[in-house]
Amino acid sequence: MHLLLVEDEAELADPLAAMLKREGHVVETSYDGDHAWNLLSNHSYDLVILDWMLPGHSGLDLCRRLRARGHSVPVLMLTARDTIDNKLAGFEAGADDYLVKPFELRELLARVRALLRRPPERQTDELRLGDLVLNVSNKLARRAGRPIDLSAKEYQLLEYFMRHPGQLLTHEQILEHVWDSGAEPNSNVVAAQVKLLRRKIDKDADTALIHTVYGQGYRFGMP
């Protein structure tokens, strides 16, 4: 199995990685949230072990971002925060399990085994809204059977819209989930990208799907 371990304390991360490798797993280790998000954005994993407190993006933020993008990879959250409210916050962010520090390595290993035994969620290859279809495997879009040629950023934006139909998505949310953490675009860049996507998605269509909520952001779906 391919695992990502995100832990900023090397004295804990390195023995954990060594133990998991002895179990036969391929383990990548990241020591900060920004680097971890870059890995999560570009690679697939069977399990993510995620510390809450990290330099850069927190573990909680990384977990929320994963779920917002529709990823169902199991997440085991590690933290010294042991109150019920903290645990609830972790689960609400999308964590599958929660382990409080300090812990015994054998307990973590047992939880890893349990999470990896769970059958993976079956995710459809297609997202649909009305006559718009987006195939997430080959990144192809069609509307009323008409193929739509999308750039990489247009595809990411459309996928984000289609995973959140009917929701008000602010400029800040779109920036956070569609642009890389190292980029510094602004709302004008978002507006320009939405305009390009709108031309392709709503062109010659009977019903517009991308709706501007002035001063706030965008809503995607049937009016």
Q: Look at 49 and 169; give whichever has higher pLDDT.
A: 49
Name which of 11, 27, 30 is nearest 19 in CA terms: 27
DSSP string covering 9-33, please?
A: -HHHHHHHHHHHHHTT-EEEEESSH
In this predicted structure, the answer to whether residue 121 has a pLDDT above a threshold of 70 is no
Quote the pLDDT of residue 28.
93
Average pLDDT over residues 119-134: 74
Q: Confidence band (pLDDT; 50, 70, 90) for 49?
A: very high
- CA-nearest of 164, 191, 163 to 175 is 191
Mean pLDDT of the chain: 87
| pLDDT the model gives residue 43 | 81
Work out the burial of residue 173: count CB atoms within 10 Å of its CB; fewer than 13 is exposed, 13-18 middle, 19 or more buried. middle
- Torsion sign (Cα): 18, 20, 23, 24: negative
Q: What is the pLDDT of residues 147-203, one digit of tens each?
A: 999 998 999 999 989 888 888 888 888 888 887 655 566 778 899 999 999 999 998
